[in-house]
């Protein structure tokens, strides 16, 4: 599934619930569904509230996300454990175990 119709910070395991709450407030389910529709992935809700791509193919979700990252000029980095993310006037500073990365907002 891509997301759930009803998501709260209690649905996530780990010690930083405040971060999860901020993310969920900034990008609610309705916006998640709209984002996926904009990149060509329509979603449907199943009886348990889980939202899946209409094709029921995870590959379609991956392909759409990879296409979107190419379109906006974003890069993907493997093996970079994120330790912290902060926002400033020029974008974001992502601190990883391998060093800092700058990203535009």
Query: pTM for this structure?
Result: 0.77
Predicted confidence band at 7 (pLDDT cuts at 50, 70, 90)?
Answer: confident
For residue 11, pLDDT over 90 is answered with no
Are 54 and 88 within one domain?
A: no
Structure tokens at 58: 């995870």
Q: Is-contact 102 93, C-beta < 8 A?
A: yes
Of residues 20 and 60, more confidently modeled: 60
Q: Are residues 56 and 94 in the same domain?
A: no
Same domain, 67 and 101: no
Question: 82-88 and 91-96: which strand pairing?
Answer: antiparallel
Nearest Cα neighbor of 29 from 54, 1, 5 is 5
Query: How many domains does the chain contain in total?
Result: 2
Residues of the domain holding 1: 1-74
Is there a single domain that holds both residue 4 and residue 28? yes
pLDDT for 29-68, tens place per residue?
A: 999 999 999 999 999 999 999 999 999 999 999 999 999 9
N- to C-terminal Cα distance for the chain?
27
Residue 63 and residue 98 share a domain: no
Are 33 and 79 in a shared domain?
A: no
């Amino acid at each position: 599934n891509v997301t759930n119709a009803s998501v709260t910070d209690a649905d996530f395991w780990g010690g930083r619930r405040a971060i999860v709450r901020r993310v969920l407030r900034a990008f609610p389910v309705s916006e998640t569904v709209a984002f996926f529709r904009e990149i060509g992935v329509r979603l449907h809700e199943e009886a348990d509230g889980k939202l899946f791509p209409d094709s029921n193919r995870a590959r379609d979700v991956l392909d759409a996300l990879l296409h979107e990252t190419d379109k906006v000029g974003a890069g993907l980095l493997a093996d970079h454990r994120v330790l912290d993310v902060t926002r400033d006037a020029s974008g974001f500073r992502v601190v990883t175990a391998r060093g800092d990365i700058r990203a535009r907002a």
